[in-house]
Every structure is written in structure tokens, then in C-alpha cells.
Amino acid sequence: MTDLTELARLIRDDSASRGQPISKLGYFCAPFRPTQGPFTDRVIKVYRGSTDRALMARLATCHADYVAALHKTGVPVPQTEFHLLPEGNLEVPVIVQEALPAESMMRPQMQAAPRDAALELMEAAGQVIARFWNNADQFETRIGFHPSIRNFAVAGGQASFFDTFPPLIHYSRPEMGRMLLIFSESALMRRVGPLLRGRVTGIQDEWYSPPETLVGLVGSACRLRPEHGEAFLAWGRDFMIREMPRWADEALPHLQRPPRLPGYWTGMRKVLGLQGEPNV
């Protein structure tokens, strides 16, 4: 049972006990791992609070349903708890998650691995993507998945997925677009985002498309290790036919050359100063 009083103290603590952020991606939050106390084996993720009780109650319900759905589709997820902590008149969403070994993070492994080892890492992540989408039909609700390289850890040939926020279940496309604005850590995004609502809403589209999630993984690998781009593309084509044949016809045309991020998203990332570090 998590000590919520200690957790609340920890997230207010500006001292060294809070530890340094372990990710600089920073769209929704900067996760940190405490250096002392009862949470040294956990990663803490603190999101923007709100006075909207209905919004937060729904968020808690959707998060519980999403973690359950990930488990039901066979996606390995570290032990994850979701809490709403009171802070003045706000409720603050906090995720407490089992910490995975730093050396298991997929992105730095991909950066250092020889070609064949990098392809093994891609296969491990791809198997999780295929497992999710091949079993997602059982849910009679809108559900998505954001399996980027930075959201995986790989150890012993097995991949784990640790990004459960925002919970990609039950929300309509316009609702998720609003979530991207409401919970963005960037004040700049919250100011300019409403002026670019269509583009911000479009960020999510890849997460709800089985072929696009796999194409997105390949694109990330090609950008990270361009010298192995042809090998990643060949792996992606083979994988779609082998493990995700329902969507192969849709994906294969996009795996003939290195996939590129949409221009509006790369522009937003530059403006916001986002970095592609593991979002643990």
C-alpha cells in the first residue's frame, strides 16, 4: 500500500531526496526517481492538476481501464499505480511505477547496438505492438497505443512498455485532442495550442492506427540509426507480413523509404524544446 502522505511530501520536496528528472522529453511531465526514502525503487510521474473533479474522476477511471486493457492484450507493463493527490483546490494526477533498470531502456540500447542486435531490439518491441493490436478487437471502445522506442525497455529479448499517460481508452478524438492541451507541461503549448487545435489533435492519430504504430517505430529507428535504415525497413516489411498481415497492405507502401515525422510535429517539438529521451 502506497503511503500517500509520504508521496505528497515527496512531490512537493525541492531537496535532493526528490532526485533528478530521468527524462527530458517533457510533453506531459518530467519523471523522476527518488534518491532516498520509500520510493527509491519507483519512478514518479506528476502531471498538471485541475479543479475539474469530473475530468479527474474520468481520468482515474480511464487510466485503470487502460492498464487493465494493456495486461489483457498481453502487453508487459511494470507495476503501476495511479493516484489523485489534493493540492489546495486542485487534484494532482500522480503515477507511481516500478523502476526498470536504466540499462534496459530501448533507446540507448538502439544507439549503441550493432545492426543485428538493433534488429533484435526492434523484434522485441514489434512483438508487443503486434500482440496489442491483434488482441484489441475485444474492446468495444476507442483504444490506442503509443509504442515509440522511448516507451520501451528490453531485457532478455523481452520488451516492456511503460507509458500509460494519457490513457488511450474511451476518449473520442476531439476529447483526446483537448487532453493533449490540458495536461501539456508546456505553458507555451497551452497558450498557442488552441490556435492550432487541428494540428495538436492530429498528434494522436498514429496512436490509434495499427499500421502507423509499426511504421512509426521503424521511422524512429531510421532517424536514430540512419546507417541501418535499409535493414530496419526490410525488417518492418517482413514483420508486417509475418505478424500483422491484416494491416500489411496499408503499411507496406510507407516502408519503402525511411518514414518521416509530420512537419507540424517536428516544428512543435523544436518550439517546445522536446528531446527524444526515454519517457520513463
- pLDDT averaged per 10 residues in sequence order, the chain, 280 residues: 84 60 58 90 94 97 98 98 94 96 97 98 98 97 96 97 97 93 71 63 90 97 97 98 98 94 58 46
How confident is the model over 254-265, as pLDDT tens digits? 999 998 866 555
Residue 279 confidence (pLDDT): 39
Question: Cβ contacts of residue 210 below 8 Å, gap of 6+?
Answer: 133, 136, 244, 246, 247
Residue 260 confidence (pLDDT): 80
In the chain, where does DSSP find H-type helix? 4-12, 53-72, 106-112, 115-135, 173-182, 187-192, 197-202, 210-224, 229-243, 248-251, 263-272
* Main-chain phi, psi angles of 82, to 5 degrees: -120, 130
Rounded CA-CA distance 50/70 in Å is 26
- CA dihedral defined by 264, 266, 272, 273, rounded to 10 degrees? -170
Q: Which triple of cell numbers denotes residue 70?
A: 494493456
Taking alpha carbons only, the member of 265, 62, 22, 32 closest to residue 179 is 62
The domain segmentation of the chain, as residue ranges, is: 4-98, 102-272
DSSP 258: -
Residue 128 confidence (pLDDT): 98
**What pTM does this model have?**
0.89
Q: What is the dotted CATH code of the domain comprising 4-98?
A: 3.30.200
Which residues does residue 42 pair with via DSSP β-bridges, in sequence order?
A: 98
